[in-house]
Amino acid sequence: MEIAAGGVVVRRTDEGWHFLMIDDRYGRVSLPKGHRDPGETTEETALREIEEETGVRGRIRGLLGTVRYDYQTPDGRSGQKEVYYYLVEAETEGIRPQVEEIAGARWVRAEEALQLQRERGYPNNTAILEAALRELETWEKPKGGIG
């Protein structure tokens, strides 16, 4: 089984949360992810792949979930992949898409990210994006004692 990792990359703006969405080479919307290199943790893989694909650096805020699926390459090779997805808070916002890997990347508002995912995304990523939205809701709740 091939191990990969990536993330739901978010940044806070005056308009609320924005998500980094990938346009892949197959016309679908996706999340940044990629294969784990020897000796890497899945957290290191996620941060490296996000930066390589999009130019965005971030820090991990927590594990969102794991997706497993079968795949087939254009040359007919098949296998299984297990992808660890993390919630990653962006430390930079400028995007430099790796055109060899993806068609493009952009920041979109949280509501638009979920709509794009449902319309053009891979079905197994919907639960990951929904988990990120739930986690961000907990960040918005006031912390502290009884008021």
pLDDT digits (tens, 9 = 90+) for 8-67: 999 999 999 999 999 999 999 999 999 999 999 999 999 999 999 999 999 999 999 999
| 25 CB neighbour count, 10 Å cutoff | 12
Distance CA 70, CA 19 (A): 26
Q: What distance in Å separates the CA atoms of residue 68 and residue 22, rounded to the nearest whole number?
A: 20
- Average pLDDT over the chain reads 93
CATH number of the domain to which 95 belongs: 3.90.79.10
Give the residue numbers spanning the domain of 91.
Answer: 2-139
Closest-CA residue to 50 (of 97, 18, 13)? 97
As a whole number of angstroms, the distance between CA 85 and CA 7 comes to 5
Whether 44 is covered by a domain: the verdict is yes
The amino acid sitting at 35 is H
- In-domain check, residue 102: yes
Let me know if residue 145 belongs to a domain. no
Within a domain: residue 89? yes
Asked if residue 147 belongs to a domain, the reply is no
pLDDT of residue 141: 61
CA distance 107 to 66: 23
| Total number of domains constituting the chain | 1
Per the domain annotation, does 53 fall within a domain?
yes
The answer to whether residue 144 sits within a structural domain is: no
What are the backbone angles phi and psi of residue 53, rounded to the nearest 5°? -75, -35
11 located within any domain: yes
